């Protein structure tokens, strides 16, 4: 049995190479395996009531993968935090809290999207607090699909503009926050996405060996983490030309 992790695909109809890469990748997990999608699966999500052939296609692929014996777990990202139980149930996925602790080969591992670790980005943290509030979400989902779509597109444009003016270190994780989360959950290893800086980081904290594995985004290449018998393989692969 293998355990797979992906994040930051930013799936959208216009992203044909990413979509084709995802469809190819979904043939890899086998019956008995587990797949964890750690957020930003879609480029944006405005509610489970959205009717779209592209979303139906992705839903069908997920469900078919689940039906052949692959357990699929989904965690919210900063772009798809409104994805709900209705979509997860239809796609055969289990919705996870952020963070979630899983047991891999008798070891506790903390799973996160990663955006909550970027505490030096004060403006984003304020937006995150607002957008994760159930009352704000209920008010947003009560709007028309057209208004929600316009808001999401405007938010993306403003985020791009804002991020282009921020120092890179601000948008990376805060090391003390990483250690605090690991200590809180009595774990030595963390897996997350969000920062688009795929790497494996090793350090010591109070004499304890710790590790943080960062998943890659799927803009120019695809990325996945595969865990087999306690061995962690962070892999990059070429996206196809559909």
pLDDT digits (tens, 9 = 90+) for 195-225: 999 999 999 999 999 999 999 999 999 999 9
pLDDT digits (tens, 9 = 90+) for 72-97: 999 999 999 999 999 999 999 999 99
- Cross-strand partners of 154: none
Average pLDDT over the chain, rounded to an integer: 95
Identify the DSSP state of 114.
S
| 3-238 to CATH, choices 3.40.640.10, 3.30.460.80, 3.90.700.10, 3.60.21.10 | 3.60.21.10
Q: What pLDDT, on a 0 to 100 scale, did the predictor assign at position 166?
A: 63
pTM, rounded to two decimals: 0.95
pLDDT digits (tens, 9 = 90+) for 97-146: 999 999 999 999 999 999 999 999 999 999 999 999 999 999 999 999 99
> How distant, in Å, are the alpha carbons of 11, 48, 64, 110 from that of 90?
18, 10, 11, 26
Q: How confident is the model at residue 60 (pLDDT cuts 50, 70, 90)?
A: very high
Residue 147: pLDDT over 90 = yes
In whole angstroms, what is the distance from residue 112 CA to residue 76 CA?
Answer: 9
In whole angstroms, what is the distance from residue 120 CA to residue 129 CA?
Answer: 14
In whole angstroms, what is the distance from residue 18 CA to residue 76 CA?
Answer: 19
């Amino acid at each position: 049995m293998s355990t797979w992790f992906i994040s930051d695909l930013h799936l959208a109809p216009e992203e044909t190479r990413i979509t084709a890469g995802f469809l190819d990748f979904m043939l890899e997990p086998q019956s008995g395996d587990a797949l964890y999608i750690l957020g930003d699966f879609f480029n944006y999500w405005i509610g489970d009531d959205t009717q779209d052939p592209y979303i139906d296609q992705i839903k069908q692929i997920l469900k078919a993968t689940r039906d052949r014996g692959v357990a699929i777990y989904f965690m919210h990202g900063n772009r798809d935090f409104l994805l709900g139980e209705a979509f997860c149930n239809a796609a055969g996925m289990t919705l996870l809290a952020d963070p979630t602790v899983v047991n891999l080969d008798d070891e506790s591992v903390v799973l996160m999207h990663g955006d909550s670790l970027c505490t030096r980005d004060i403006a984003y943290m304020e937006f995150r607090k607002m957008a994760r509030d159930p009352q704000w979400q209920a008010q947003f989902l009560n709007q028309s699909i057209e208004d929600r779509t316009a808001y999401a597109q405007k938010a993306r444009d403003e985020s791009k503009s804002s991020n282009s003016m921020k120092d890179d270190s601000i948008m990376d994780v805060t090391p003390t926050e990483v250690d605090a989360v690991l200590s809180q959950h009595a774990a030595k290893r963390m897996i997350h996405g969000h920062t688009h800086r795929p790497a494996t980081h090793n350090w010591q904290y109070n004499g304890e060996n710790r590790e943080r594995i960062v998943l890659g985004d799927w803009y120019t290449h695809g990325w996945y983490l595969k865990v087999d018998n306690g061995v962690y393989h962070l892999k990059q692969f070429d996206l196809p030309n559909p």
